Amino acid sequence: YMPTHRNEGKKQIPLDNLMDLNRLNKWCEETNSIFVIKKHFYHSKEKTLEKEYSSIIDVTNEKVDAQELLKYSKILITDYSSCYIDYLLLDRPI
């Protein structure tokens, strides 16, 4: 999941309001998947997850290149972030 920034980081992205994380985590466990969150660096100081999940990880503050994440992802979930243009080249679901 790679959302774009909102108002230069002044507007928080409440992930819990966008999706049912418990249900998503359960689905990920059942399908042997991992849901990776990489927010825009403007939002790096925000807390993304209120608790820990076995199959949902936030790598926003990790030294992980967004392009590498795209390379190894099987699907991209985003809004109007420009990363979708890069991901189009891989011909994978967006």
pLDDT tens digit string along 67-86?
999 999 999 888 878 888 88
Q: What is the pLDDT of residue 78?
A: 85
In a domain, 57, yes or no: yes
Give me the amino acid identity at 44: S
Q: Is residue 20 part of a domain?
A: yes
Q: What was the pLDDT predicted at 80?
A: 76
Which residue bears the tokens 């403007």?
42
When pLDDT is cut at 50, 70 and 90, the band that residue 15 belongs to is confident
What's the angle, vertex CA 56, arms to CA 10 and CA 94, rounded to 5? 75
The number of folded domains in the chain is: 1
Name the pTM for this structure: 0.81
d(CA 94, CA 87): 8
Domain coverage including residue 34 = 7-88
| Residue 2 belongs to some domain of the structure | no
